[in-house]
Amino acid sequence: MSGSLKLIALIEKHADPIAHAWAKDVRRNSRTASYHDMPEGKLVPLAIRFYDNFRKMFYAEKPAEVSREFFARYAEEQYEANVPLHEAIYALILMRRHIWLYAEFQVIFITAVEQKQAVDSLVRTILMFDYAITFMSRRYQELIRGELNDRLAVLNMIRLESPLGTRLSPYRTAIMSVLLIGSFLLTYYYHAVMGSNVIFTHLFYIPVVLAGIWWKRKGILLAVVLGVFLILSHSVFLRGIPLTDDFVRAVMFIVIGAVVAFLSEGITMAEEIYRLKAM
Amino acid sequence: MYMGMKLIDLVETHAEPIARQWARNVRKNPFTPYYHSMPEKDLVPQAVVFYENFRRLFMEPKPVEASQGYFTRYAEESYRKGVPLHEALYALILMRRQIWLYAEFQVLFLTAVEQNLAVESITRTILMFDYAVYFISKRYRELMKLEWFEAPNT
């Protein structure tokens, strides 16, 4: 443990120059591009705080617990600064390397006994960094998932899906029933009462699109039902007027319904893949 | 490099038992829950391949290039299987630790001189794993972007 003590003493005493050396390195290293434009004045305190915490983490009885808190916070800060995970991790690796570069420079492990101490010290430091990498990558994934959930919030509202994935099917059925009855009544009113096929069918796209989003391929069936109903109603109430326009409209319902259904399927699939990967 | 050679020889000649120990570890480690339900027979070959590649990665004059190719493939395979990034990384960390546990078990670094040389060996191994972590997390990000067009800060 004395080797570790020596290393800790070195870090605590020389935190500032080590942090400066790290900041210079990270600002020009090709693997840490996000740090290149960050001012040294902003980077140095980041490293100093890490080096100040080093002893606490190094000697903790349960290093995993202490590391978890520190590196989760560190990950949050880097995430907010738009640093990609691999760069944040590499910057951390450079923090560790700079300890060793400085230690070598200070020639604190020279004799055979000291070399043995160096091994203990290395192993302990690496253990801490192993936890750091794990906790950072885990926290990044949680943050990504949270951000994507926020981005998907509006879409989920339209899809009538709760963030926890509970599908609000009863509401969908009720809304769709109202829209369908409204569409039937509207068709009857225009065809039977007004004797006209003016363009009121644009409103049918609301149930067609919602059905595609909610029920995906099965939702195409609703577009078919609306199309068939439109043609039947025309055949019964508007015999003197050519069917062409309403036929084209009915086909368009199915086309739009199918496009929305396939898009909705694609979004759901991508979302599922993401949720699996970000778990 | 002598101690490095000793370590490489150990890893190569004992790839199978080290891989088995790793598989057992990863199947019960709380940091790698994804692997808990995977059968040992599926896990062992994965580690054996890594340990068999250890010499090439270790001895490579340009360790960055060698690591990039190997660990990018590791990331792609893990991603395809649906392993979360932090678990894929930790599983790899355990692969490294397993070497050391085995090396200690074999009392490879016994004398003062050997302890001295061990520092070099550890440093070299760690350098390789530093690149590994970097390339794996980078590849995961690229793959997530492909699926999500532009995922949030990954």
Domain boundaries, chain A: 2-151, 161-277
CATH ID of B2-148, from 1.10.490.10, 3.30.70.260, 1.10.645.10, 3.40.50.720: 1.10.490.10
Query: Using CB atoms, which residue from B84, B115, B122 is nearest to A279?
Result: B84
Mean pLDDT of chain A: 84
CB A130 within 8 A of CB A34: no
Residues of B in contact with A77 (CB under 8 A): none
CB B12 within 8 A of CB B52: yes
Q: For residues B1 and A129, give the distance between their C-alpha atoms in angstroms, rounded to a whole number.
A: 25
CB B87 within 8 A of CB B35: yes
Strand, coil or helix: what is B62?
Answer: coil
Residue A15 is predicted with a pLDDT of 87
Nearest residue on chain B to A34, alpha-carbon basis: B153
Domain boundaries, chain B: 2-148
**Paired tokens of A163:** 């963030």
Residue B7 is predicted with a pLDDT of 75
Spatial CA neighbour of A131 closest among B140, B10, B24, B94: B94
Nearest residue on chain A to B80, alpha-carbon basis: A277
Residue A168 is predicted with a pLDDT of 59
- List pLDDT tens digits, range B34-65: 999 999 999 999 899 888 887 777 777 777 88
Give mean pLDDT, residues A180-185: 94
Give mean pLDDT, residues A162-172: 60
Residue A23 is predicted with a pLDDT of 95
* Cβ neighbours of residue B20 closer than 8 Å, sequence gap 6 or more: B40, B44
Mean pLDDT of chain B: 81
- Determine what percent of chain B is predicted with pLDDT higher than 90: 34
Q: If pLDDT is split at 50, 70 and 90, which confidence band does A182 have?
A: very high
Residues of B in contact with A130 (CB under 8 A): 90, 93, 97
Residue A141 clears pLDDT 90, i.e. is over it: no
Residue A225 is predicted with a pLDDT of 95
Q: For residues A6 and A114, give the distance between their C-alpha atoms in angstroms, rounded to a whole number.
A: 10
Q: How far does B30 lie from chain A, in Å, by closest CA? A: 12
Task: Say which residue the tokens 């960055």 belong to.
Answer: B64
* A87 vs A11 pLDDT, higher one: A87
The ipTM, to two decimals, is 0.81
Partner A contacted by B100 (CB < 8 A): yes
CATH ID of A2-151, from 1.10.490, 1.10.510, 3.50.40, 1.10.760: 1.10.490
Q: Do B115 and A84 touch (CB under 8 A)?
A: no
Residue B105 clears pLDDT 60, i.e. is over it: no
Task: Say which residue the tokens 């649906």 belong to.
Answer: B82
Q: For residues B117 and A229, give the distance between their C-alpha atoms in angstroms, rounded to a whole number.
A: 85
Task: Say which residue the tokens 């994507």 belong to.
Answer: A148
Q: How far does B111 lie from chain A, in Å, by closest CA? A: 10
Residue A122 clears pLDDT 80, i.e. is over it: no
Q: Do B154 and A84 touch (CB under 8 A)?
A: yes
Residue A93 is predicted with a pLDDT of 92
Residue A241 is predicted with a pLDDT of 87
Identity of the residue numbered A8: I
Substitution target from B87, B96, B154 for chain A, most A beta carbons within 10 A: B154
**Paired tokens of B126:** 């760690």
Burial class (CB in 10 A: 0-12, 13-18, 19+), A229: middle
Q: Angle A239-A241-A246 (CA atoms, 0-180°, nearest 5)?
A: 100
Give mean pLDDT, residues A129-152: 85
Q: How many CB atoms lie within 10 A of CB A19?
A: 23
Residue A107 is predicted with a pLDDT of 61
Q: Do A270 and B148 touch (CB under 8 A)?
A: yes
**Paired tokens of A198:** 């003016």
Q: Do B84 and A85 touch (CB under 8 A)?
A: no
Q: For residues B52 and A117, give the distance between their C-alpha atoms in angstroms, rounded to a whole number.
A: 30
Residue A57 clears pLDDT 90, i.e. is over it: no
Query: Using CB atoms, which residue from B116, B148, B153 is nearest to A79?
Result: B153
Residues of B in contact with A151 (CB under 8 A): 152
**Paired tokens of A137:** 């990558």
Residue A144 is predicted with a pLDDT of 83
- List pLDDT tens digits, range A186-205: 999 999 888 887 778 899 99
Q: If pLDDT is split at 50, 70 and 90, which confidence band does A53 have?
A: confident
Q: Do A144 and B153 touch (CB under 8 A)?
A: yes
Strand, coil or helix: what is A201?
Answer: helix
Instruction: Please report, for residues A177, A196, A212, A221, the alpha-carbon distance to residue A254 in angstroms, rounded to integers and kept in the order given.
Output: 19, 23, 10, 8
Residue A164 is predicted with a pLDDT of 45
Q: If pLDDT is split at 50, 70 and 90, which confidence band does A250 have?
A: very high
Residues of B in contact with A141 (CB under 8 A): 84-86
Residue A236 clears pLDDT 70, i.e. is over it: yes
Substitution target from A123, A127, A140, A269 for chain B, most B beta carbons within 10 A: A140
Q: How many CB atoms lie within 10 A of CB A231?
A: 16
- Determine what percent of chain A is predicted with pLDDT higher than 90: 44
Give mean pLDDT, residues A1-9: 66
Q: Do B134 and A148 touch (CB under 8 A)?
A: no
Q: Do B126 and A126 touch (CB under 8 A)?
A: yes
Dihedral sign, CA of B56, B58, B62, B67? positive
Residue A32 is predicted with a pLDDT of 95
**Paired tokens of B55:** 């010499």
- List pLDDT tens digits, range A65-118: 888 888 999 999 999 999 999 999 999 999 988 887 876 655 655 566 666 666
Phi, psi of A197 (to 5 degrees): -115, 40
CB A277 within 8 A of CB A148: no
Q: If pLDDT is split at 50, 70 and 90, which confidence band does B33 have?
A: very high
Q: Angle A192-A195-A198 (CA atoms, 0-180°, nearest 5)?
A: 115
Q: For residues A272 and A188, give the distance between their C-alpha atoms in angstroms, rounded to a whole number.
A: 42
Give mean pLDDT, residues B106-124: 66
